[in-house]
Amino acid sequence: MKTIIKFLFTLLILFAFSCSQESTQDPLPADLDGVSAKTNSKATLDVSGAIGESGVEGSATLHRNKNGITVNVKTSGLTPGYAYTLWIVAFNNQDGVCDPTGCTPGDSVDAKAEIMYGAGHVVGGSGKGNFSAHLNENDVSGSVNVEHFEIPTVGGMMDAQKAEIHVVVRCHGPAIPGMIKEQIQSYDGGCDMYECNDVWFGIFL
């Protein structure tokens, strides 16, 4: 009897441990009853995605679950004392529209892209910038589709498991006293005094 109880206890521990681990595989296929099976997943970009001659290097990790996504971006080579923001672009209808290597800005309308604010801050003396953001499905509170790109909003990220996700780090120039909040929380904050530009990007297919 003691042996059976010990065996069952061991199985219980193993089951609890397995349930606590996050899957790093692609989402599961549809269930047998036809209902889409959504699961946690994780993907990492370890390559540099510098734009132009910015010299910025970085990596990003994307966590997906049934409700939304969490993005963590680590960059280096940023300019100390400058303001930077993180932007997340969700392409909701990329199949049959975008190239297999990834969507482009020209695909935004047909691929039903939503361009949304993620995070922002002023970079310290190390030149390193860490950005983290979470987005729920169907959340358009940080969208800049209409205001800055003159394309219709599509209702945010429609499906966190299927959307192609682009992450972009944008520079807003030197931190300007009295304007810092605007610089780190908006798409064009400080751009009338300094030419803003995108310096790093990553694509999660």
- At residue 40 the predicted structure's pLDDT band, cuts being 50, 70 and 90, is confident
Question: Closest Cα partner for 158 from 71, 64, 93?
Answer: 93
Q: Is 8 helix (H, G, I), strand (E, B) or coil?
A: helix
40, 63 in Cβ contact below 8 A? yes
The count of domains in the chain is: 1
**Mean per-residue pLDDT of the chain:** 83
Is the pLDDT reported for residue 22 higher than 50? no
For residue 122 the two structure tokens come to: 């002023």
pTM of the model: 0.79
Domain interval for residue 155: 3-204
Q: pLDDT tens digits, residue range 142-166?
A: 999 999 999 999 999 999 999 999 9
pLDDT for the residue 52:
87
Q: What is the largest CA-CA distance in the chain?
A: 78
For residue 12 the two structure tokens come to: 């219980």
Q: pLDDT tens digits, residue range 96-122?
A: 999 999 999 999 999 999 999 999 999
